[in-house]
Amino acid sequence: MAKDDREDDRRPDPDALLALAEKDRRGKLTVFLGAAPGVGKTYAMLSRAHRLKADGVDLVVGLVETHGRGETAALLEGLDVLPRIRIAHRSRVLEEFDLDAALARRPQLIIVDELAHSNPADSRHPKRYHDIEELIAAGIDVWTALNIQHLESLADLVAQITGVTVRERVPDVVLKRADEVLLVDLAPTELIERLKEGKVYLPDSANRAVDRFFRLGNLTALRELALRRTADRVDDQMVDYLKQNAIEGPWATGERLIVCVGPDDLSEKVVRVASRMASGLNANWIVVSVEHADREQTSADALRKVESLFRLAEQLGAETRRIIGRDFVEEILKLARREHATQIVIGAKPRHGIRRFFGESLPDALSRQVVGVGLYLVTPEKAQAKPLKRLPPPPSLKTAARPLALALGAVAMTTAIGLGITLFISLPNISLLYLVAVLGCAMTGGYLSAFIAALASTLAYNFFFIPPVHTFTIASPHEVFALFVFLGVAILAGGFASRVREQAEIARKRATELQSLHDFSRKLASAAKSDDAIWLTVSQLQMSLKRRIVLLMPKEEELQVAAAWPPDTELDVTDLTAARWAEDKREASGHGTGTLPNSRFEFRPLLGPHGIVGVCGIEHGEGGLDLNAERLLAAVLDQTAIALDRARLAEESVRQAARLEGERYRDALLSSISHDLRTPLATITGAVTSLRQLGDRMSEESRNDLLQSIEEESSRMSRFVANLLDMTRIEAGTLKPKRDWVDVADVVQAAVERTRKHAPGVKIETGLAADLPLMTGDAVLLGQVLFNLLDNAVKYGGGEPVNVYARRDGGHVLISVTDLGKGIPSEDLDRIFEKFYRRGKPDGRAPGTGLGLSIARGFVEAMGGRIHAESPAMRKKGTRIVMRFPAGDDSESKLA
């Protein structure tokens, strides 16, 4: 048993196996990594390419930058080089990598140099690594080259080492997802020597490069970074191999980082430092931003900073979270415990001035309360005096007019009331009236109005109520103290009241958004059709976001606009291309993304439980969506995707039911044909064969019997074919009965005589009322109905007599056909009028097609009547089928 447990523990990691399976479906990415330009990355790629070309590998050079190096350009000879595409950009013509040509050529391996290159503005992707990701997704292997200074997490460190800010950067996750990283190494002294010989850059720029970037110390530091990053990559590959093969060994420890950021200048450095820590520790890391639960972030600049930090963290391979709470320390520690974090990374700035004496900072509070988790503080680059914080700009006259008027009006009214009270009674605490005015201004006009009211109340109270009155002079010292206490209390009370007002406004706004989402969800749940759900979504998003909204749905293997608001919204070629990309790749595209950012719209796929159901486009103006709008958009799109998927499944269910019904109809028809045609055909064929072979040798009686059999079976086939034709007319809606006067008695007698010829051994009794009126209808159809009912009664009557009755019932004519057979179970009374419904084989023969009663119902309803079955009919057995037709007017029937 213990052995089995050990074997279970040594099973391969499912996540590692899933990641390996995903890689097998994609192309392979190989990155030639170097410490600096000139170490020979491109040369190494091309040299290796010649060896693979000799082995028969389908290899294409998509783009290679030789930078004027002759020895590198010579290696291009003998290789298949893809022509570059020419793009006009800022009055220049650029030669760029042709992505579409590479996808159309679809080689086994393609070389695309300069991974960190930025594409022109009108390209499909803003960065070359996006092009490479599309090639890999298409199943094409890619070789590329990268210098270590272009990694996003090392940008600030490289700038600090070399003094040069690198503009073109690549997210660390691109290198992390590479299947193979090959380090192309060269000693710094040899690289500098090559630079001086003109083998790296062109000779006229070599000296300037040596002076600024290619210094021995810089190159040594960059070389160390490249070696460390390559070693980390090798360690990742080893751990993946151990997990995939369930090999026990020295696995990496389970480090997990929580990184706290905010809209301050230090947070970007915190993210980059945490990225390097996570890479060195081979750890997962979460970047978190904590927001106040009782206040809303209204600064657009702060929101943009946090969004920018989250995008940077995601590029570096982090998971991002937003937390809402009142106690920041408690929320951070709660998240650390829930995620089993081992370290918390946070920025710490020195506190200057009077702020050092009022409360503790967030890092100090964390260091005091954290237990069992490491705390890593990231400080600014160098100590510097904190600049004086600029006061916010004063409000404009238009903005301050209403709070000012409200405050002065409230103080004036309070002063008048106070003066009126002092005419009748002297009160020592008249200042409480001004406190009420301050609170009222805070609740209605906000903190600015409350602050103005507090100052104005202090002055008014001093001028009108503190001796000597009508002056701003204060005679008694205790009055001075009381006045300042009043001012402080008024300002504090006003602040608290305005805070309550802000919280109430935030709660109202969130409640409104929640109610809006609730109403939308309720309407969406009741939308049975996809069109209803589409228009609900478009109108809801346009009303909430105040932007143009367009929703596209796949139709006939093409993405087409299903709804847009305003209705005149049109998409150009770039917009449609971005929408198709979002559908194909199941990721956001268009404005603000890495794919076709020149589009006016940002397109997001609607991913339902069973795949993509559509694409939603949101027009972006000057500013992007804030946090609340993003949450609303995500909620609406998720609900819409589920609703559309539900509607699609409902439509498929209806189609499936119709298909199953059609298959059942077909199977029943084939079964009927096989039974009801095969038997009479076999009888006719046998009789004809006997007559042909025996001829005159047969007796007259035998010959007549055979001829009678041929006649009977031919009549049976004729009835069968007639039933099929009648059913086809009913189903197609082409049945048009006549509207003539019909004598019911004559039709009943004719149907009975016809049935007696068909079944001479069965007794048929009739009962026709003397006052039986005429009815309007089709005598031929009514006769066919009665024959079908009598034929059915003969089959299932068990040899007992069959009764036919017709009588007047008020304004109707009732016709019933009754047999004394076993009867019909109550649960099958409605089913007997369905197509192909049959009950057993009462006479030893095939019971028929099961169309007789169905045709009867179709004919009766076409003539304006109704038909139903009753069982038992008589003496607790038998079946009675009753037809009811409107009777004709007596005067008209007499004229007829």
* Domains of the chain with bracketed CATH: 14-244 (3.40.50.300), 256-349+361-378 (3.40.50.620), 398-503 (no CATH), 529-652 (3.30.450.40), 677-734 (no CATH), 735-895 (3.30.565.10)
Mean pLDDT to the nearest integer, 382-401: 53
How high is the pLDDT of residue 299? Answer: 60
**Distance in angstroms (rounded) separating the CA atoms of residues 772 and 752:** 18
Mean pLDDT to the nearest integer, 41-69: 87
Tokens, residue 623: 């500013």
Which of 362, 360, 173 lies closest to 262 in space, CA to CA? 362
How high is the pLDDT of residue 141? Answer: 92
How high is the pLDDT of residue 893? Answer: 47
Cβ-contact 638, 645 below 8 angstroms: no
Q: DSSP labels for 713-726? A: HHHHHHHHHHHHHH
Cβ-contact 685, 706 below 8 angstroms: no
How high is the pLDDT of residue 143? Answer: 92
Q: DSSP labels for 378-408? A: E--SS--PPPPPPPPPPPPHHHHHHHHHHHH
Give yes or no for residue 330 having a pLDDT over 90: no
Region of poorest pLDDT, from 22-26, 675-679, 703-707: 675-679
Give yes or no for residue 669 having a pLDDT over 80: no
- The more confident residue out of 823 and 716 is 823
| Cα–Cα distance list, 567 to 456, 549, 571, 615, 893 (Å) | 54, 9, 12, 17, 62
DSSP E strands in 488-556: the ranges are 549-555
- The more confident residue out of 511 and 373 is 373
How high is the pLDDT of residue 142? Answer: 93
Tens of pLDDT, residue by residue over 191-209, are 888 777 776 664 455 455 5
Mean pLDDT to the nearest integer, 743-760: 85
Mean pLDDT to the nearest integer, 24-51: 86
How many C-beta atoms surround the C-beta of residue 798 within 10 A? 14
How high is the pLDDT of residue 533? Answer: 79
Return the H-helix or E-strand segment holding 86.
Answer: strand 85-89
Nearest-5° angle of CA 669, CA 674, CA 676? 90
Tens of pLDDT, residue by residue over 514-541, are 777 777 777 777 776 777 778 877 887 7
Tokens, residue 603: 């397109």
- The more confident residue out of 777 and 841 is 777
Give yes or no for residue 296 having a pLDDT over 60: no
Give yes or no for residue 16 having a pLDDT over 60: no
How high is the pLDDT of residue 95? Answer: 85
CA quadruple 722, 832, 774, 741: dihedral sign: negative
Helix orientation angle between 216-244 and 14-24, rounded to the nearest 10 degrees:
110
pLDDT tier at 230, thresholds 50, 70, 90: confident
Cβ-contact 344, 334 below 8 angstroms: no
Mean pLDDT to the nearest integer, 759-788: 84
Tens of pLDDT, residue by residue over 834-870, are 766 665 544 444 444 456 677 778 878 888 888 888 8
Mean pLDDT to the nearest integer, 247-265: 70
The residues facing 821 across adjacent strands are none
Sheet holding 284-292, edge to edge: 319-325, 284-292, 256-260, 343-347, 374-378
Cβ-contact 538, 549 below 8 angstroms: yes
Mean pLDDT to the nearest integer, 126-130: 87
pLDDT-above-90 percentage for the chain:
3
Nearest-5° angle of CA 620, CA 625, CA 630? 125
The residues facing 260 across adjacent strands are 288, 346
Mean pLDDT to the nearest integer, 88-101: 82
pLDDT tier at 707, thresholds 50, 70, 90: confident
Mean pLDDT to the nearest integer, 710-730: 68
- The more confident residue out of 580 and 592 is 580
Q: DSSP labels for 770-782? A: TTPPPEEE-HHHH
pLDDT tier at 771, thresholds 50, 70, 90: confident
How high is the pLDDT of residue 522? Answer: 76
Give yes or no for residue 773 having a pLDDT over 80: yes
Give yes or no for residue 23 having a pLDDT over 90: no
What is the DSSP secondary structure assignment for residue 12, as one 8-state letter? P
pLDDT tier at 174, thresholds 50, 70, 90: confident
Tens of pLDDT, residue by residue over 787-820, are 888 888 888 877 788 899 999 888 889 999 988 8
Give yes or no for residue 762 having a pLDDT over 80: yes
Give yes or no for residue 122 having a pLDDT over 80: no
| Cα–Cα distance list, 508 to 67, 197, 294, 503, 504 (Å) | 62, 72, 12, 8, 6
| Cα–Cα distance list, 756 to 718, 762, 801 (Å) | 18, 7, 12
Give yes or no for residue 655 having a pLDDT over 70: yes
- The more confident residue out of 16 and 467 is 467
Region of poorest pLDDT, from 31-45, 194-208, 487-501: 194-208
Give yes or no for residue 428 having a pLDDT over 80: no
Give yes or no for residue 654 having a pLDDT over 90: no
Region of poorest pLDDT, from 13-27, 68-82, 336-350: 13-27
How high is the pLDDT of residue 895? Answer: 41
**Distance in angstroms (rounded) separating the CA atoms of residues 633 and 638:** 8
Q: Which residue type does 708 have?
A: Q
How high is the pLDDT of residue 663? Answer: 67
Which of 813, 790, 809 lies closest to 744 in space, CA to CA? 813
Cβ-contact 856, 788 below 8 angstroms: yes
Cβ-contact 645, 618 below 8 angstroms: no
pLDDT-above-70 percentage for the chain:
75
Give yes or no for residue 241 having a pLDDT over 70: no
Give yes or no for residue 144 having a pLDDT over 90: yes
The whole-chain average pLDDT of the chain stands at 76
pLDDT tier at 593, thresholds 50, 70, 90: confident
**Distance in angstroms (rounded) separating the CA atoms of residues 59 and 527:** 53
**Distance in angstroms (rounded) separating the CA atoms of residues 252 and 243:** 11
Which of 129, 173, 132, 126 lies closest to 590 in space, CA to CA? 126
Give yes or no for residue 21 having a pLDDT over 80: no
Tokens, residue 851: 């169309």
Mean pLDDT to the nearest integer, 724-750: 75
How high is the pLDDT of residue 283? Answer: 79
**Distance in angstroms (rounded) separating the CA atoms of residues 249 and 245:** 11
